[in-house]
Amino acid sequence: MRKRRSPAIAVVAVALLVGAAAALRAQAGIGQVEDAGIVPRGLLRLRTAGSWTRYDLRFASSGFAALGAPYTADSLGATQLPALAAAQSLVRTAAGSPFTLSLGQSHFDAIAREEHVPFVLEYGLTNRLALAVVVPWIRKRVSGLLALDSLGANMGPNPRRQSTTASQTNGLVQTEFAAAALLLQNRLSSCTTSPAGAGCPALLARQAEAQQLIQSSQSFATTVGLLYGTSTGTGEAFVPRTQSAAQAAIAARVADFNAKYQDLLVSTANFLLSIPVGAVGAAGSADVEDYVTRDLGRDSIAPQQLFGIGDVELGFKYLAIDHSIHGDMGAIRLALASSVRLPTGTRQAPVGVADLRIGDGGIGFDARAILEVRRGRLGLIGASTITLVGTGPASAAGDTHRFAIDLAPEWHVSAPLAIHGAYSLRNADVTGSTRLVGGGVSFTTVNSYRAGARPLPMEMRYTHLEATRGDPGAPKFTRDQLEVRIYYQPGGR
């Protein structure tokens, strides 16, 4: 009877796994797959799985894109740094002509590295049920080098931010425009009161033109003040270079406004003499770095890192099926597991070319089904996982759910030694999907352990993984994992 039930049990177990896997892909955890084994009753198991990940590419719609692509361009401008669109628009308005901002040719070499070391403490309540606590230590790093060539640069660092003289000159521009507008406005008021006064008939005949000049000149002065700064305002980080066409156009408009005031006020005196101070030279990589961190409040594009404790997990694992097939010829095991993730890891890390956050920001939940099948020397471990990602009120937008299916075919060279392959499909609603392929080797003495025996069992598992396919923007990474499991019997000798 028992033998006749074996295929039925296998079919039910596989249906459970595959049925879930049809909709599930993997979460963003570090492990490729876990087996269905349970810590024997009365034993403690300390498990740690060091994971080393590195990448300098991302998947793109066709091929790959360098990690530093956001800051690499023939013409670094508003396309790469959208916040520069404000300065670009101000220059267009001030110059009265089309303008495309460029800080020059840029190239950014970047590489990201991540180290995950989860410490997992498990205790076997029975031979089928174990409890677990997971405390992950995480470090994320980005190393980068930005090279900026002045070729084609029409903007440079705003001298107003460093030079007192530039601040005074820009302040004088505002003063002169305000004084000229006030003088013309007072002259109009005087002529309205005394239309027969000297020069009044001619000025009153051009009253609409005069009012238009006052409005347009003040609008120009406001635009210039926002761009270059004033005696009190800092202006934009970058302004037109002194010898650029845009700077020449802005100077020409100042001269044109001056000529119009002279004409309407019938004077040879110069009312507008000061020109806003342009950039002496092109921007360097340090200037762009300063702009990204100071003005934008974003992460540095220089080397940086974040490390600490990630989201702590509390969970259990239950061995639902543990069935031998034809004696020692094979076996089927099915384990069900679940855990709650506490928001102990920070999610407030800045995000730029790589995500440095080490937590989800809220309470999360995951559920797993792990199937292990062995026939002779061949075996297969499969796991499907669904994770609901917690969010907090201060956390940045991110995944709300993740799915996974992991497969690891094995060939047992001997009782303790096995060689395994690795295949994973992972998906999340925001960060997208990734396919992983790899393999490794494992060593275990658990299968030969008997209760009360010495020494206690131990396990090791090494896996190398490569991300071979992913949605646009997903990291093209390589990962090495080394998992060690050490057993301890409380009260044992």
Q: Would you state the structure tokens that stand for residue 264, as one six-digit string?
A: 């309407």
Q: Would you state the structure tokens that stand for residue 5, as one six-digit string?
A: 């039930």
Quick check: 32 and 436 in contact, CB under 8 A? yes
| Region for 361 from its dihedrals, namely left if φ exceeds 0, alpha if ψ lies in -120 to 50, beta otherwise | left
In this structure, the number of other CB atoms found within 10 A of the CB of residue 176 comes to 20
Quick check: 334 and 367 in contact, CB under 8 A? no
C-beta contacts of 97-100 below 8 A and 24+ residues apart: 97/246, 97/249, 99/154, 99/246, 100/75
Distance between CA atoms of residues 72 and 110, nearest Å? 11
Task: Output the tens digit of pLDDT for each of the chain's 493 residues.
Answer: 344 444 443 333 333 333 333 333 233 344 556 788 888 888 888 888 889 999 999 999 888 999 888 888 999 999 988 999 999 999 999 999 999 999 999 998 889 999 999 898 999 999 999 999 999 999 998 888 888 999 999 999 999 988 899 999 999 999 999 999 999 999 999 999 999 888 899 999 999 999 999 999 999 999 999 999 998 889 999 999 999 999 999 999 999 999 999 999 999 999 999 999 999 999 998 898 888 877 877 666 666 778 899 999 999 999 999 888 766 668 899 999 999 998 888 776 665 677 788 887 788 899 999 999 988 889 999 999 999 887 665 445 678 889 999 999 999 898 789 999 999 999 998 888 999 999 999 888 766 555 445 556 678 889 999 999 999 989 999 999 998 877 666 665 5
* Domain 2-67+112-143+309-488 in this protein, CATH class: mainly beta
Q: Would you state the structure tokens that stand for residue 354, as one six-digit string?
A: 């790589």
Helix/strand/coil for 3: helix
What is the full DSSP assignment across 199-212?
THHHHHHTHHHHHH
Would you mind telling me the total number of residues written for the chain in this entry? 493
Quick check: 184 and 216 in contact, CB under 8 A? no
Quick check: 354 and 112 in contact, CB under 8 A? yes
Quick check: 404 and 384 in contact, CB under 8 A? yes
Parts of the chain belonging to CATH 2.40.160.40: 2-67+112-143+309-488
Burial of 249-266, coded b for 16+ CB within 10 Å and e otherwise, reads bbbebbeebbebbbebbe
Distance between CA atoms of residues 89 and 66, nearest Å? 29
pLDDT for position 100: 96
SS (H, E, C) 2-45: HHHHHHHHHHHHHHHHHHHHCCCCECCCCCCCCCCCCCCCCCEE
Distance between CA atoms of residues 89 and 97, nearest Å? 10
Q: Which residue, among 94, 69, 135, has the nearest Cα to 223 in the 3D structure? A: 94
Helix/strand/coil for 474: coil
Using CA atoms of 368, 374, 377, 379 in order, give the dihedral in degrees to the nearest 10. Answer: -30
Distance between CA atoms of residues 44 and 23, nearest Å? 35
Which residue has tokens 């709300």?
A: 400
Q: Angle formed by the axes of helices 207-228 and 164-193, to 10°?
A: 160
Distance between CA atoms of residues 49 and 226, nearest Å? 54
Which residue has tokens 């295949």?
A: 423
DSSP state of 388: E
pTM of the full predicted structure? 0.68
Burial of 339-374, coded b for 16+ CB within 10 Å and e otherwise, reads bebbbebbbebbebbbbbbbbbbbebbbbbbbbbbb
Distance between CA atoms of residues 203 and 190, nearest Å? 11
Distance between CA atoms of residues 138 and 121, nearest Å? 17
Burial of 9-25, coded b for 16+ CB within 10 Å and e otherwise, reads ebeebbebbeebbeebb
Which residue has tokens 């670094």?
A: 76
Beta strands in 310-400 (DSSP E): 313-325, 330-341, 364-375, 378-388
Distances in Å between the alpha carbon of 229 and those of 96, 153, 278?
19, 21, 11
In this structure, the number of other CB atoms found within 10 A of the CB of residue 462 comes to 15
| Helices and strands (DSSP H and E) totals, the chain | 7, 17
pLDDT for position 354: 78
Distance between CA atoms of residues 365 and 387, nearest Å? 6
Which residue has tokens 């239950």?
A: 318
